[in-house]
Amino acid sequence: MPEKMIDDVTLQTLPGDAIRQIMWRFSDRFDIQMLVQSTRAVARGPVARLVAEGARSTHDWTDQKAALFKHFDEAGITGAFLDPECGGMIEGPKNLLFALIAFELAWVDAGAATASLAGNLAFAPIHERGTPEQRLHYMQRMVPPAPGENRKPLRGAFGLTEPIPYVGVDTGALGGKVRIAEWPDGGEPILHVEKRGRFITNMDLANFVTAAVDSDDPRIKGSCMVILEETDPGIFDRGAPTRKLVHQLSSTRDPIFSLKVPASRIIGGYKIKDGVIIPNYSHGDIIEAVFRRTRITVGAMTAAKLLSAVEPVIRYQRGRFRGTPTVQPGSSRYELGLQLKEDTLHRLVDIWASGEAAASLVFAAARLFDEIDPLEREKDRILEQQGVSGAWAQMKVFRNLRPKAMEYVELCAQKPEHRDTSRFKELEQDPLVRYMVLDAVGNVLCPASKLWNTGHGANMMREALSLMGGYGITEDCPGFLAFKWMDAQLEATYEGPEAVQRRQLSITMTMDIFLAQFRNWIKEMRQIASRRPGTGACTLATAMEMWLWTLEHLQNATDANGNKLYHSPRQGVTFALADALCWLLASRYQIRDVLELEEKGRNNPMVAEGLDGTLAFLTDLCHVQSARASGEVGRICAELVHGYNRHPSWDGESCHPYTPTELDALESVAPGIAGGVAGHADIMSTEGDPHPCKAGPCVRFEGLETFTRMRLKLDGCLTGARLAKDRAAQALTKVMIPEALDYPQ
């Protein structure tokens, strides 16, 4: 019988496209929405069928896998990076677009996502740093065929990684070499490139490779990236398939190249000075420009995995006991199954909350780079006009601009009615200032989204699997959760393993322009908390303050041996603080996305109908996640602040227990002290005893009172977080899910 409509303020359905478009800020971009839909059709159609048929059981490249590229082409995925003048469809920066494509494909299989975007990665060095001629030449040849057109587009591979002990450990050390093979008088030099690759994606089908090489010739300065084509004279050996256990829908091989190419293939061009070829960009310059964008898409893959796990897990939980004669329809056990158990619900809430935070973080990073991209080009243009070239000269310009950038950040935090509007506009319209400010955040968000999403995401995928019982580790598991779990581990590694992200963060997060903005964000969270306390913004603000205090403390403090704490080799300190920051950032962007939905959702009738319930649920997830983030930050900070002080022992240097006689004497000036001290410090029970008989001497916190107060405050700020989790858990028992997953298993 149909039921009466109930106006419960709880989540009615799983968040749909209209909600996500608002939260992730592409509701006004129909071009992106279209590509999302066509990508989804490929992911949940041909890709899912391939996975279900067992195509992942081999690392070999098969015809079935290769056929996916036709679907990618038709969907517009492989051509997404093209500029409109070269047959592309989407104008402007495409970081958000790539993140969304990766998200949609990884919802089903991240190997497919990697395969589809590998061409983009291969072209990225040319796109970011290539000469206009190089860009045009390759872009035009990479245009996918239109339906009915019989033409093979050029496909590429990005060739950086080499066998150990070269890149992969440190991208600065290259085994690949370039020499001058011939240099005809007045003609273009011909280069001889020797390169061995490892884990090179797309190698089965690549027609060209953008390869990183170092000079092996005094007539070539430094390193560079060169474009190698399969028709170049020499050896273009695609190599052995990499025997990987994950991402099997992408082609990965260990190629070998020994080729002669013209010097015009040096990406970004070169100059000749005193008979020496000087590439305009080193391989380091190029990969920095590439990875700071493409790493974001990797973070999007793991976010998708977490959110994609929600529906299969709910369905599994609810249907767990159906089919046995003793469990009758209508009974709680039949309708809710495992959802009768609080633990299963709470764990799913954690997974969902992590997925929301991961998606919010990665899409924020992608949007930020969409803002940075045009500014960066404008910056390059201005600096070129000013005759500024080279990293050092650029740094000098930015050092001089620093006060302006800091002033701009300060003005940003002021209410519009209180700030100097004309000065604010002046600074805002200065592309160099804006670039500096946004770049400082971008340099943090890119590694943070890659590091946290993939690392924490992999852990949470394990949790998702555990909720499916033994089913979780079978090929039949709905949603391919086991594959996704394993894939997440690769995502934590490729395009720069976790240590690389942590190292980058440990530097960029200490930049004053970033920290000035971070201070603004603390204020922002406090303001949000006053309006929307249920988001956990208050908890987060306190944790952010603690992180900042800890960073500043560690930058000046030394350990018990007098050694500096915050410096590059001390990764026990720097990496841990980088990890802590990621938790904070993810939670912050999650809260901001929910507020965006709250602000804009009512204007869309598709969203408005169940908006109150959706907001209530997503707000509870924010609270759950901010509590978890704050807990992590509190733990890490406490370990770092206290952990490098020597634990007191029963010796004169580190331990000063009061004697009863001393306390009696103090009673005359401070009545009650004897009783009060007993709770906080060591007291000898008897004169002459070496120490009180207990586990160990008490630690004292001289100089750390502020931190101790913060810790106490942070604990108190967790108030309500578990109630939010209970509410979210209850919502999971009521939310309406589709009858079946919309892709095969």
Partner 1 sequence: MSEGYHIVVCAGIVPDPLQTLQPVQTPTGWGLKNEMMLPAVLDPWAAHALYEAAHLAKKTPGSKVYLVSLAPKAKLQQVMMTVAQKAAFELVPVDGPASGFTEAFEVASALYEAIMGIAGLDRNKLLLFGGWESASRGAGSTLQILGEMLQIHDQFQGVDECTVNPDGSLQILERVEGGNHQVSVCKGPPVVLGWATGNLPEPPNNPQIGMSNMRTIMPALQKAKTAKIGADGVFFGSVELPKQLRQTRVVKDAQVDEIAREILEWIRK
Q: Which residues bind partner 1 (CB under 8 A)?
A: 1-5, 12-13, 16-18, 30-31, 33-38, 41, 74-76, 79, 89, 146-147, 323, 604-610, 736-742
Closer residue to partner 1, CB minimum distance, 15 or 159: 15
- Produce one character per residue of 16-47: b if its CB has 16 or more CB atoms within 10 Å, e if not: eebbbbbbbbbbebeebbebbebbbebbbbbb
Residue the block writes with tokens 């011939």: 182
H or E stretch at 618? helix 611-643
Closer residue to partner 1, CB minimum distance, 144 or 279: 144
Closer residue to partner 1, CB minimum distance, 653 or 739: 739
- Closest distance of CB 87 from partner 1, Å: 9
- Closest distance of CB 604 from partner 1, Å: 6
What tokens were used for 558? 């030394």
Q: Could you give the CA distance from residue 226 to residue 125 in angstroms, rounded to a whole number?
A: 10
- Closest distance of CB 318 from partner 1, Å: 12
Closer residue to partner 1, CB minimum distance, 4 or 415: 4
- Closest distance of CB 739 from partner 1, Å: 6
Closer residue to partner 1, CB minimum distance, 705 or 739: 739
Residues paired with 223 in a beta bridge: 214
Closer residue to partner 1, CB minimum distance, 261 or 307: 307
Amino acid at 555: Q
- Closest distance of CB 584 from partner 1, Å: 32
What tokens were used for 254? 């260990």
Backbone phi and psi for residue 279, each to the nearest 5 degrees, phi listed first: -60, 140
- Closest distance of CB 38 from partner 1, Å: 5
Closer residue to partner 1, CB minimum distance, 73 or 232: 73
481 alpha-carbon distance from chain centroid = 20
Three-class secondary structure of residue 736 per DSSP: strand
Closer residue to partner 1, CB minimum distance, 181 or 741: 741
- Closest distance of CB 74 from partner 1, Å: 5
Q: Are 116 and 251 in contact (CB under 8 A)?
A: no
Q: Could you give the CA distance from residue 381 to residue 375 in angstroms, rounded to a whole number?
A: 10
Query: How would DSSP label each residue in 33-67?
Result: HHHHHHHHHHIIIIIHHHHHTTGGG--S--HHHHH
- Closest distance of CB 61 from partner 1, Å: 24
Closer residue to partner 1, CB minimum distance, 16 or 572: 16
CA distances from 503 to 110, 224, 510, 637 (A): 26, 23, 12, 18
- Closest distance of CB 550 from partner 1, Å: 43
- Closest distance of CB 321 from partner 1, Å: 14
Closer residue to partner 1, CB minimum distance, 30 or 650: 30
- Closest distance of CB 742 from partner 1, Å: 5
User: Which sign, positive or negative, has the C-alpha torsion 541, 546, 549, 550?
Assistant: negative
With 0-12 CB in 10 A as exposed, 13-18 as middle and 19+ as buried, what is 244?
middle
Omega cis (within 30) before 153 = no
Q: Could you give the CA distance from residue 350 to residue 356 in angstroms, rounded to a whole number?
A: 10
Closer residue to partner 1, CB minimum distance, 180 or 735: 735
Q: What is the CA radius of gyration of the chain?
A: 29
H or E stretch at 449? helix 431-466
- Closest distance of CB 352 from partner 1, Å: 18
Closer residue to partner 1, CB minimum distance, 75 or 303: 75
Q: Are 485 and 314 in contact (CB under 8 A)?
A: no
Q: Are 625 and 536 in contact (CB under 8 A)?
A: yes
Q: Could you give the CA distance from residue 423 to residue 136 in angstroms, rounded to a whole number?
A: 41
Q: Are 537 and 590 in contact (CB under 8 A)?
A: no
